[in-house]
Amino acid sequence: MNSFINDEKILSIIENTKFSESKAEEIIQKALALKGLGLEEAAMLLSCPDDEYLDKIFAAAGKVKSLIYGRRLVFFAPLYISSFCVNNCLYCGFRRDNKDIARRRLSIAEVLKEVNLLESFGHKRLLVVAAEDKDINADYLSEVISAIYAAKNGRGEIRRVNINCAPLDLQGFKKLKKCGIGTYQLFQETYHNNTYNKMHPCGPKSDFMKRLYAMDTAQEAGIDDVGIGALFGLYDFRFEVLSLLEHCRYLEDKFGAGPHTISVPRIEPALNSLVSDNPPYAVSDIDFKKIIAVLRLAVPYTGLILSTREKSSLRNELLYLGISQVSAGSRTNPGGYSSSGDGQFCLGDNRTLKEVVMDAAEAGFIASFCTACYRNKRTGADFMKLAKPGHIQEFCLSNAILTLKEYLLDYTDNGQNKASALLDAEAANIKDGNMRKITLGRLKRLERGERDLYF
Ligand code: SAM
Ligand code: SF4
């Protein structure tokens, strides 16, 4: 099988790109027209030196973000279910040879204890995360997912479960699809084959090609929302960004839609990791901003996910550059919401969900707990067909407003605060008169006790 990542082609684009302001100007204009960018164009913006011109790229990314996502910011939390791992990824605290970590695999009862807490914080969207544990198979994952959907805690409930776990076979993915997963997420870590081989010396994950084509299997099983990502710090960030764009293009050509999301994890220190204290290609904050801005310009309709690996001050800045989904109040050890333990890596942002929601509002962003697209079967190519001409944006804003209202009613003292003030202002400003009227009506119904109203 031939890889759709052509190292030589990508490296030669990087090598032959010389930054030119006039060319960058044309590229920015194309991006502002929401046309996305090709590899050469993205490479040109990535080659921008750290001077004033970079601010123009950041401003354009902010504009594209606001054109497509408005002030919405989707929230979720990870739920780790196992830290037993058969692989030995050099950067990870869960790697097989780390003998100093206390490992845990959650039973269904233990999963439910965690879900109960996450619901009591107000989360509606979870990302189930598992190390590559030989005792966790598709049947167990299906049991976990079904149990999560069935678990209610007062008004709390989880309405969308995404998953990040080792690739399954076709039958395994079909089982996940059947029990209603949202996105299947898997990071290639690095798209550079030689670096990949060094970082993944043994275990099933050492098969670069199998990982590269895992999304094809997921798609063939009917999972049409997939999430890709690269672990920044393992290899040249420009190579990883261009490869992510190649992966998007490949999926779009083959399945009619690119990935639903791209994640941008950056290596954090991890217990007994062999590379995380001193990553081979450490990415500076300014380059990290560049990565996010260029991805936003290159694939405007793809969600960009930022985790609590990053510290809060930087997270706040990155919201303006293109991030559309964030995790909040996260723990990276199985059982971490109800007890302490060894996490997969160190966290940079330890704020609670409520603190992140309020800080986002302070910065002008509406927390959204919306799960409507997936529940209305607006996924994969169907989602893109609506998203690209801008048809679902009015729905999205109203859904964000309604889910934030639920959150404020059920998980805060519901007094006046930054988030409620922002919500009222956004609701009053919904452009379409009919949508505005219906949304305002639904806000009243939520106040009277109804829940889960969405478009
Ligand atoms: N074990 C599965 C796998 O490797 O695909 C599931 C995901 S793993 C628990 C979640 C992700 O954490 C990995 O894909 C990797 O990108 C990221 N990760 C591992 N070590 C990390 C570190 N030291 N800092 C930041 N992210 C890390
Ligand atoms: Fe295991 Fe995933 Fe960590 Fe690799 S990144 S050691 S597969 S948990």
Q: What is the mean pLDDT of residues 451-455?
A: 93
The pLDDT tens digits for 382-433 are 777 777 776 667 789 999 999 999 999 999 987 789 999 999 999 999 999 9
Q: How far is CA 26 from CA 45, 65, 231, in A?
A: 11, 19, 30
The CA angle 234-224-367, to the nearest 5 degrees, is: 75
Does 208 contact ligand 1 (Cβ within 6 A)?
Answer: no
Kindly give the distance from the C-alpha atom of residue 64 to the centroid of ligand 2, in angstroms, as a whole number. 34
Instruction: Using pLDDT thresholds of 50, 70 and 90, give the confidence band for residue 66.
Output: very high
Give the number of the ligand closest to the Cα of residue 282: 1
Q: What is the mean pLDDT of residues 97-124?
A: 97
Task: Give the Cα separation of 433 and 318 in Å (integer).
Answer: 32
pLDDT value, residue 50: 83
pLDDT value, residue 162: 98
pLDDT value, residue 380: 81
Query: Ligand 1, atom 26: nearest CA belongs to which residue?
Result: 267
Q: What is the pTM of this model?
A: 0.96
pLDDT value, residue 321: 96
Q: What is the mean pLDDT of residues 329-356?
A: 94
Kindly give the distance from the C-alpha atom of residue 230 to the centroid of ligand 2, in angstroms, as a whole number. 14
Dihedral (Cα; 285, 186, 213, 31), 10-degree rounding: -40
Kindly give the distance from the C-alpha atom of residue 356 to the centroid of ligand 2, in angstroms, as a whole number. 28
Query: Ligand 2, atom 4: nearest CA belongs to which residue?
Result: 89
Does 265 contact ligand 1 (Cβ within 6 A)?
Answer: yes
Among 363, 362, 357, 438, residue whose Cα is nearest residue 66: 363
Q: By the 8 A CB rule, do 50 and 101 touch? A: no
- Residues 6 or more apart in contact with residue 211 via CB below 8 angstroms: 167, 186, 188, 189, 205
Residue burial 221-241, b: 16+ Cβ < 10 Å; e: rest: bebbbbbbbbbbbbbbbbbbb
Angle between helices 418-428 and 393-411 (to 10 degrees): 150
Does 218 contact ligand 1 (Cβ within 6 A)?
Answer: no
Q: What is the mean pLDDT of residues 350-373?
A: 95
Q: How many CB atoms lie within 10 A of CB 2?
A: 6
Does 95 contact ligand 2 (Cβ within 6 A)?
Answer: yes
pLDDT value, residue 415: 78
| DSSP code string of 306-339 | E-TTS-HHHHHHHHTTT--EEE-S---STTTTTS
Cα dihedral 40, 321, 240, 212 sign: negative
Give the number of the ligand closest to the Cα of residue 279: 1
Among 261, 183, 257, 254, residue whose Cα is nearest residue 225: 183
Above pLDDT 70, what percent of the chain?
A: 99
pLDDT value, residue 178: 96
pLDDT value, residue 296: 98
pLDDT value, residue 219: 97
pLDDT value, residue 166: 98
- CA of 276, closest atom in ligand 1: 23
Which phi and psi (to 5°) does residue 137 adopt? -120, -175
pLDDT value, residue 414: 76
Residue burial 32-62, b: 16+ Cβ < 10 Å; e: rest: beeebbbbebbbbbbebeeeebbeebbebbb
Does 131 contact ligand 2 (Cβ within 6 A)?
Answer: yes
Instruction: Using pLDDT thresholds of 50, 70 and 90, give the confidence band for residue 73.
Output: very high
* Domain 66-386 CATH superfamily: Aldolase class I (3.20.20.70)
- CA of 200, closest atom in ligand 2: 4
Strand boundaries in 356-430, DSSP class E: 366-368
Kindly give the distance from the C-alpha atom of residue 68 to the centroid of ligand 2, in angstroms, as a whole number. 34
Which phi and psi (to 5°) does residue 75 adopt? -110, 145
User: Among 87, 89, 92, which residue has the most ligand 1 atoms within 8 Å of its CB, making it the best to mutate?
Assistant: 92
Give the number of the ligand closest to the Cα of residue 275: 1
Give the number of the ligand closest to the Cα of residue 274: 1
Does 89 contact ligand 2 (Cβ within 6 A)?
Answer: yes
Angle between helices 285-298 and 312-319 (to 10 degrees): 30
User: Alpha helix locations (H) across 184-324?
Assistant: 193-199, 208-212, 214-220, 237-255, 285-298, 312-319
Q: What is the mean pLDDT of the chain?
A: 95
Domain range list for the chain: 66-386, 387-447
- CA of 85, closest atom in ligand 1: 1
pLDDT value, residue 392: 65
Say whether pLDDT at 58 is over 90: yes
- CA of 131, closest atom in ligand 2: 8
Give the number of the ligand closest to the Cα of residue 163: 1
pLDDT value, residue 391: 64
Among 452, 369, 402, residue whose Cα is nearest residue 160: 369
